[in-house]
Structure 1
Amino acid sequence: MIEQIFKITMGNDRLVEKVIQDENVHYIHMVFNQDEGLPEHFSNSTVYMTVLRGKLSIGLDDQEVCHYDTGTVLKIPFNIKMNVKNLDAEVLELIVVKAPAPTK
């Protein structure tokens, strides 16, 4: 078999699932319920964030929190302060791709 196969977990429970982490890319699947999210942190690579379900509430650097609906793809540069949350009742599901893969 030439290809590698990876599976993501389906469901509504809080999840941060590192699906692929190699020297090329980090591919992360995330699920957050209302008032859940990530600790505030700085991006360690260029981050591509796809909203699969729900509405993403994200604060970047010192900007006001912005809200992004299902189907939105964000590109966030390296070394940007990020505050990722689900402030809505609907489950938030994201795919996060870090490319190139972080070296630290």
Structure 2
Amino acid sequence: MIEQVFKMNTGNEKTIEKVIQDDNLHFNHMILNKDEGLPEHFSNSNVYMTVLKGVLSIGLNEQEIHQYEAGTILKIPFNTKMNVKNHNEQVLELIVVKAPAPKN
């Protein structure tokens, strides 16, 4: 078999899974319920964030929180302060790709 196969969680419980971590990129899958989120942090690479379902509430650097619905893709530069949350009733599901892969 030439290809590698990876699986992601398909439920609705809080999930933060590192699906692919290699020298080229990091591919992460996240499921967040209402009032769940990530600790505030700085991006350690270029981040490409795809909203699969729900509404993402995100504050970047010092700007106010913006909301993005399913079907939206965000490109967030390296070393940007990120505050990622789900402030809505609907389950939030995200794909987060970091490219190039972070060095740490």
- Which residue does the alignment assign to 2:99? 99
Query: What aligned pairs does 1:1-104 form with structure 2 within 5 A after superposition?
Result: 1-104=1-104
The structure 1 segments of at least 4 consecutive aligned residues displaced by more than 4 Å after TM superposition are: none
Supply the distance in 2 between the matched residues of 1:3 and 1:85 (Cα, whole angstroms): 34
Supply the distance in 1 between the matched residues of 2:9 and 2:89 (Cα, whole angstroms): 21
- DSSP 3-state at the match of 2:79: coil
RMSD of Structure 2 on Structure 1 (CA): 0.3
What TM-score, normalized to structure 1? 0.99
Supply the distance in 2 between the matched residues of 1:8 and 1:33 (Cα, whole angstroms): 17
The gaps in structure 2 that reach 5 residues or longer are: none
Which amino acid in 2 is paired with 1:57? S
What TM-score, normalized to structure 2? 0.99
- Identity level (%): 68
The gaps in structure 1 that reach 5 residues or longer are: none
Which amino acid in 2 is paired with 1:76? I
Count of aligned pairs between the two proteins? 104
